[in-house]
Amino acid sequence: MGTEHSHDHGCLQLGRRHFLTLAAATAGLVILPLGLGRARAAGNEILVGGTLAQSGPLSGATTPMKALAEAWAKRVNDGGGILLSKLGKKLPIRFIFYDDQTSPPEALKLYERLATVDKVDLFIGPYSSFLTNAALQASLTHKIPFFMVEANDDVLFEKPNPWRVTGLAPAATEYTRTVPLFEGRGDLKTVALLGRENLHERQSVEGAAQAFSKMGLKVVYNSLAPADTKDFSSIVLAMKQESPDVVLVEALVPPWMIAFLKQARELGLNPKELIVGHAGLPVMRAMGASGDHTVAFTYYFDGDTPDHQELYAISKAVGVEPWSYTEIGLRYRAFRRIKDALERAGTLDAEAVREAMWSTDLHLYGEEVIKHDARGYGTDIPYPVEIRGGVIQSLWPLAKGRSAHVPKNGKW
C-alpha cells in the first residue's frame, strides 16, 4: 500500500514534472521566436516610432504625414537603407505611427508602448508642442533619442532632457523670415495680430509683434482668442477700428482661421497686407479667389537641389503638393535629421545616436545648415510664400520675394 501510494505519488510527481517541463518547453517555444523575432528585427531594421493626431482637433493638419514618412522610408530603403558604418551594413528604416487622438495623456501612453512593446530605436515627435511635451517623458524614462518635429515652445525645454532636440528655432522666431518681406514699405505703418489661444500661437504671435515693432510698425491690436471661438465679429470690429495696414492671424487649426477670414471679409476688414500662418490647402480652398495675395509660409522654398527633388518626389508619391500642408517641409527635415544622426552615429546604440543627434551639422537645400543650440532648439524657420491663383508662390530669397509679391491692398 505504502509502496503503491509511494508509486502513485511518484507517478504523480513524475507527471507534474513532465507537465512543468512540457509547459516550460511550450512557453519557450512560443516566447522564444517572439524574442528572437524582436532581436532579429532590432538587428535587421531601424525602427522609428511616433504618434500623429489622426483624430481630434489637430487631425486635419496631419493627414498626409504618415504616408509621407512611409514614402520617404521606401525611397531610402530602395537605395539600400541607411549605412551604419560601425555595423558594417545598411539597414532599412521603418516607421510605426499610432493615433494620439490629439490627447497628451494618450500620446504619452503610446510613446510608452512604442518603447516597451515595439521597442523602437528612435522616437519621432507628434504634431504640436503640447502633445510633444507630454510624450517627451518617455524619452527620459527609456533613454531613447527623441526627434521633435512640430514643436518649438519654451515649455519643452524647461525640464532638462538630454534625449530630445527639435529642428525648429523658437516659436517666437517663426515670422523672422516673413516680416522682413515688408521692410522698406512706406505705406505700412500699423499691424494687428490675432492668435488662437494655444501654447504655440501665443509665443509665435508675440514674436511676430516684436519683429514688426522692431521694423517700425505700430502694433495697434494684439490678442489671443479662445480655441473654441466661432464668432469673430467683435474681434474683427476691434481690429477695424484701428484700420491696420497689416493683419496677421496665427492658428494651427484651419477652420478657426477660415471662420476669422470669412467674417473679416464680411465686415470689411481690408488690410493692405494679410498674413496667415499655417495656411495650407483647407484655408486656400475655403478662401478661393479672395485668398489671393495673402502671405503665408512653408518650410522650404523653390529650388532644384537634390533635397528639393527628394521633397517633391515623396510629396508626389503621397499625392499632395509640398505646400498643401504647411508642415510637410518640416517633416521632411525631421527625416533628414534622423538619417544624418544615424549615419554619423554609425550604430543604433542610443547614446551614440543621441550624441550625433545633438551635434548635427546638416546642409540642406544648398544654403541652410541645421544645427542645435545648447537647449536643443534647431534652426528651422519658415519661408514666406504668397497664395496666388489657388497655389503657393515662393517669396524666397527675400530680394526676389519683395519684387514678386503683390500686396493684397484690401481686395478679397
Q: List interacting residues with other proteins (CB under 8 A).
A: 54-60, 63, 99, 101-102, 194, 197, 223-226, 228-235, 237-238, 240-241, 253-256, 258-259, 262-263, 265-268, 282, 285-286, 288, 290
* Closest distance to other proteins from the beta carbon of 85 (Å): 40
* Closest distance to other proteins from the beta carbon of 230 (Å): 4
Looking at the Cβ atoms of 143 and 230, the one nearer to other proteins is 230
* Cell numbers for 370: 541645421
Looking at the Cβ atoms of 182 and 232, the one nearer to other proteins is 232
* Closest distance to other proteins from the beta carbon of 256 (Å): 7
Residue 84, strand partner residues: 89
Reference 183, options 401, 412, 411, 408; nearest CA is 401
Reference 261, options 243, 287, 242; nearest CA is 287
Looking at the Cβ atoms of 112 and 242, the one nearer to other proteins is 242
Looking at the Cβ atoms of 210 and 229, the one nearer to other proteins is 229
* Closest distance to other proteins from the beta carbon of 193 (Å): 12
Q: At residue 374, what is the residue type?
A: A
* Closest distance to other proteins from the beta carbon of 148 (Å): 22
* Cell numbers for 112: 510608452
Looking at the Cβ atoms of 296 and 353, the one nearer to other proteins is 296
Reference 206, options 236, 171, 235, 240; nearest CA is 171
Residue 165, strand partner residues: 147
Between CA 107 and CA 11 the distance in angstroms is 54
Looking at the Cβ atoms of 250 and 340, the one nearer to other proteins is 250
* Closest distance to other proteins from the beta carbon of 60 (Å): 3
306-317 and 65-78 helices cross at what angle (nearest 10)?
120
Helix (H), strand (E) counts: the chain? 12, 16
Between CA 204 and CA 394 the distance in angstroms is 21
